Structure 1
Amino acid sequence: MSDQEQQSTPTLYEWVGGAPALETLMAAFYRRVRQDDVLAPLFANMPEDHPHHVAMWFGEVFGGPATYTEQRGGFRVMRAQHVGKDIAPEQRQRWVSLMLEAADEVGLPDDAEFRSAFAAYVEWGSRRAMANSRPGVTLSPRTTTPVWGWGEAPPGID
Structure 2
Amino acid sequence: METNKQVPSLYEWAGGMPVFEKLMVAFYDKVLKDDLLEPIFRHMSPTHQVHVAHFFAEVFGGPKIYSSNEGSHAAMVTKHLGRHLTEEHRKRWVQLLVATADELELPADPEFRSAFVAYVEWGTRIAVINSQDPNLTMNPHEPMPKWGWGEPGGPYQP
TM-score normalised over the length of structure 2: 0.88
**Structure 1 vs Structure 2 CA RMSD:** 1.9
Pair 85,104 (structure 1): closer, same or farther in 2 beyond 3 Å = same
Q: Secondary structure at the match of 2:35?
A: coil
1:7 offset after TM fit, Å? Answer: 6.7
Structure 1 CA distance for aligned equivalents of residues 104 and 39 of structure 2: 24
Q: Deviations over 1:49-94 (max 9, x none)?
A: 1000000000100011111001112101111111111111100110
Report how many aligned residue pairs link the two structures. Answer: 149
Q: Secondary structure at the match of 1:41?
A: helix
Judge conservation of contact 2:74–2:138 (CA < 8 Å) in 1: no
Query: Residue type matched to 2:35 in 1?
Result: D
Pair 150,72 (structure 1): closer, same or farther in 2 beyond 3 Å = same
Structure 1 CA distance for aligned equivalents of residues 137 and 5 of structure 2: 34
* Structure 2: unaligned runs, 5 residues or longer: 152-158
Structure 1 CA distance for aligned equivalents of residues 108 and 23 of structure 2: 14
Q: Name 2:94's counterpart in structure 1.
A: 96
Q: Name 1:46's counterpart in structure 2.
A: 44
User: Residues 10-89 of structure 1: matches in 2 within 5 Å?
Assistant: 10-89=8-87
1:16 offset after TM fit, Å? Answer: 0.4
Structure 2 CA distance for aligned equivalents of residues 27 and 65 of structure 1: 19
Judge conservation of contact 1:11–1:63 (CA < 8 Å) in 2: yes
Query: Residue type matched to 1:39 in 2?
Result: L
- Runs of 4+ deviating beyond 2 Å: 4-7, 135-142
TM-score normalised over the length of structure 1: 0.88
* Structure 1: unaligned runs, 5 residues or longer: 153-158
1:138 offset after TM fit, Å? Answer: 3.9
